Amino acid sequence: MSTWRDRARPLIAKVLRETEGQDEKVIKKALRDAYPWGQRAMHPYQIWLDEIRRQRGLKTTGPSKGKPKDVPPDPRQEELFDE
């Protein structure tokens, strides 16, 4: 069984290969025209957009919420549990 991402990946890669080196507007239009699942809404479309960001190197990965791991704990905070 394939996922939406599995289906989108080769289509997006093909469009990006065919439009390589062209103007940004041309690339975006080609990607928009290549969308295969009808209405641009809901989960399949979100996966399509996410896969475009991944393949174009526009998506950053890693923790996006919370404080960075290298920040020491606030000394004014009390420990709730003994270790």
What is the per-residue pLDDT across 56-70, written as a single tens digit (0 to 9) for each? 988 766 555 555 667
Look at residue 78 and tell me if it is in a domain: no
Q: Which domain holds residue 18?
A: 4-55
pTM over 0.85: no
Predicted local confidence at residue 83, as pLDDT? 61
Sequence-distant (≥ 6) Cβ neighbours of residue 5 within 8 angstroms: 47, 50, 51
Is 60 within the bounds of a domain? Answer: no
Provide the domain count of the chain: 1
Specify if 62 maps to a domain: no
Domain membership flag for residue 61 = no
**Residue 72 belongs to a domain:** no
- For the chain, give the percent of residues with pLDDT over 90: 61
Is 9 inside any structural domain? Answer: yes
Q: Considering the domain boundaries, does residue 67 fall inside one?
A: no
Instruction: Answer yes or no: are the C-beta atoms of 3 and 24 closer than 8 Å.
Output: no
